[in-house]
Amino acid sequence: MSDKYQQRRFDIYGYEKIDTEVLEAIPYEYPEKNTVVEYITDEFSSVCPWTGLPDTAKLIIRYIPHQKLVELKSLKYYLTSYRNVGILQEHAVNRILDDLVKLLEPKFMEVIGEFHERGGISTKVVARYEK
């Protein structure tokens, strides 16, 4: 990368700013059922680790809970912690899946990131976990 672009770089944070400590689980009262829970937001954002330019996405988190649900306020704070983190789109989706699987131990989980077009290309990333 030439020096002229280094001067235009925005501040970005490392993975240590992803706030997994804020995530909370609450008890699920119907573990015998295969209920599909889906959370959708159009407000997910992170930044390109090389340029600092924003990556925005529609994020869909779909899962079949076992014993726990994610508390929604904690999920919102967790997702917001990505705002200035330099992370590739593919890595962000997989990291979210890993963190939520660790917290919830679901029967099934899928995280879909539909990243908005930048430079003429949009990206869709699908990461799955099945017990």
Annotated active-site residue in 3, 11, 19, 55:
55
Annotated active-site residue in 3, 42, 48, 99:
48
Q: Which residues are annotated as a binding site for substrate?
A: 70-72, 89-90
Q: What is the mean pLDDT of residues 77-84?
A: 97
Q: Which residues are annotated as a binding site?
A: 70-72, 89-90
Q: What is the pTM of this model?
A: 0.92
Q: What is the 3-state secondary structure (H, E, C) of the chain?
A: CCHHHHCCCCCCECHHHCCHHHCCEEECCCCCCCCCEEEEEEEEEEECCCCCCEEEEEEEEEEECCCEEECHHHHHHHHHCCCCEECCHHHHHHHHHHHHHHHHCCCEEEEEEEEEEECCEEEEEEEEEEC
**Active-site residue 55, yes or no?**
yes
Q: What domains, with CATH codes, occur in the chain?
A: 19-130 (3.30.1130.10)
**Active-site residue 98, yes or no?**
no
Please give the pLDDT value at position 29: 97
Q: Which two tokens stand for residue 29?
A: 């009262």
pLDDT band with cut points at 50, 70 and 90 for residue 66? very high
Please give the pLDDT value at position 8: 64
> With contact defined as beta carbons under 8 Å apart, do 55 and 113 qualify?
no
Please give the pLDDT value at position 11: 76
119 pLDDT more than 90? no
